[in-house]
């Protein structure tokens, strides 16, 4: 399967993880998908954001309650150790998202990259936290990432992994082109991302087909504009009664979707035999950054955070 420029890549879309589901039951589902990924030739399996639990930022609670129920104080820990053990046994790497509580009292929406020896070789903490920090009882559900998490303090790093360079981002990060660009500039040829995206916006009306469209538009544009592969793993179906878009996908450096989950309910593994040589042509010509980018005209991107006010 593997050559110097290829990678067997699996994306594991998860059905709902309900509040009433047991940790052990969820872990068994992850193990089953890890085995399926390995069986199909994968060297790396990409799991969703906050994969061990329900998407708890939809609930208003005290931070202490959230930490007790949903955060991981260490990684690995006894609850999740079997996933690491199975990865080492199978000889497969994985990427997974979880809520991280640090020893010194910080809280992040985090993803890790784990190699086939079950060593954590990379960590990412979500930078673009969506939603709000205040309780909004009039909303059909909350989106409290700005309450439970701090903005990631690690930036968009990249790592040498399986003969390529890879990076990570999480959910809302994928809508911001800066995310891919910062990793693309580092030479990343693969970006992994996990997500939990409700099918319905909680704050204003938009047409029901748009959340799926926006997800795919964002990852396809990010892949194309940086000539990189993108592997996106989400949850799908009614989680605690709130429907999540699926659309987990592998996107090629030309922006085309080459594998996409079909289901709307169950756990599902998709696979593609990724060839990093497909990054080369566009990186030499259309997206030869050194030849074409003009940083002297990009200053506002870092000098100004918010948008100028609309004129009256």
How many chain residues touch a second copy (CB under 8 A)?
72
For residue 76, cis peptide bond before it (omega within 30 degrees of 0): yes
Joined together, the tokens standing for residue 189 give 């040829």
Does 306 interact with a second copy (rule: CB under 8 A)? yes
Selected binder of a second copy within 225, 240, 260, 275 (CB under 8 A)? 225
247 Rama class: left (phi>0) / alpha (psi -120 to 50) / beta: left
Q: How large is the greatest C-alpha to C-alpha distance in the chain, in angstroms?
A: 63
Nearest approach in angstroms of CB 197 to a second copy is 11
Query: 18: helix, coil or strand?
Result: coil
Nearer to a second copy, 262 or 286 (CB): 286
Instruction: Examine the residue annotation and report whether 65 is marked as an active-site residue of this protein.
Output: no
**Which segment (15-23, 27-35, 67-75, 275-283) binds a second copy by CB under 8 A?**
275-283
Active-site annotation holder among 38, 43, 100, 126: 126
Helix/strand number for the chain, H first, E second: 9, 15
Nearest to residue 196, comparing CAs of 56, 296, 33, 1?
Answer: 56
Nearest approach in angstroms of CB 89 to a second copy is 28
Nearer to a second copy, 51 or 182 (CB): 182
Residue 97's DSSP bridge partners are: 111
Active-site annotation holder among 43, 49, 100, 145: 49
**Which segment (12-20, 42-50, 61-69, 216-224) binds a second copy by CB under 8 A?**
216-224
Phi and psi torsions of 68, nearest 5°: -65, -40
| Helix extents (H) in the chain | 23-39, 63-70, 81-90, 145-148, 177-185, 210-226, 280-284, 289-292, 300-303
Window 95 to 134, contacts with a second copy (CB under 8 A):
127-130
Instruction: Examine the residue annotation and report whether 189 is marked as an active-site residue of this protein.
Output: no
Nearest approach in angstroms of CB 276 to a second copy is 8
Residue with tokens 């029901």: 208
Instruction: Examine the residue annotation and report whether 169 is marked as an active-site residue of this protein.
Output: no
DSSP state letter for 117:
T
Selected binder of a second copy within 68, 73, 160, 241 (CB under 8 A)? 160
Window 229 to 268, contacts with a second copy (CB under 8 A):
254-256
Window 163 to 182, contacts with a second copy (CB under 8 A):
163-165, 172, 175-178, 181-182
Distance in Å from the first CA to the final CA of the chain: 60
**Which segment (9-17, 87-95, 207-215, 241-249) binds a second copy by CB under 8 A?**
207-215
Residues that are catalytic = 49, 126, 171
């Amino acid at each position: 399967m593997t050559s110097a420029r290829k990678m067997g890549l699996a994306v594991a879309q998860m059905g709902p993880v309900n509040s009433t589901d047991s940790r052990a039951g969820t872990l068994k589902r992850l193990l089953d998908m890890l085995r399926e990924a390995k069986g199909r030739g994968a060297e790396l399996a990409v799991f969703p954001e906050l994969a061990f639990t329900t998407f708890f930022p939809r609930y208003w609670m005290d931070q202490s309650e959230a930490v007790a129920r949903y955060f991981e104080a260490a990684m690995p820990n006894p609850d999740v150790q079997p996933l690491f053990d199975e990865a080492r046994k199978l000889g497969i790497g994985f990427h997974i998202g979880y809520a991280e509580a640090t020893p010194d009292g910080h809280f992040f929406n985090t993803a890790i990259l784990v190699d086939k020896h079950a060593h954590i070789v990379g960590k990412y903490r979500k930078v673009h936290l969506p939603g709000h920090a205040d309780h909004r009882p009039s909303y059909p559900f909350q989106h409290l990432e700005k309450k439970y998490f701090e903005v990631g303090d690690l930036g968009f790093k990249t790592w040498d992994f399986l003969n390529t360079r890879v990076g990570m981002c999480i959910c809302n990060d994928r809508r911001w082109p800066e995310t891919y660009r910062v990793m693309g500039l580092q030479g990343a040829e693969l970006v992994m991302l996990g997500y939990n995206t409700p099918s319905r916006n909680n704050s204003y009306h938009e047409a029901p087909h748009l959340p799926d469209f926006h997800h795919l538009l964002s990852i396809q544009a990010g892949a194309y504009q940086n000539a990189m592969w993108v592997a996106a793993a989400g949850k799908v179906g009614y989680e605690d009664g709130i429907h999540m878009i699926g659309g987990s996908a592998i996107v090629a450096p030309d922006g085309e979707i080459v594998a996409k989950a079909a289901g709307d309910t169950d756990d599902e593994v998709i696979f593609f035999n990724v060839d990093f040589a497909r990054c080369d042509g566009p990186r030499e010509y259309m997206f030869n950054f050194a030849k074409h980018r003009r940083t002297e005209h990009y200053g506002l991107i870092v000098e100004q955070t918010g948008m100028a006010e609309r004129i009256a």
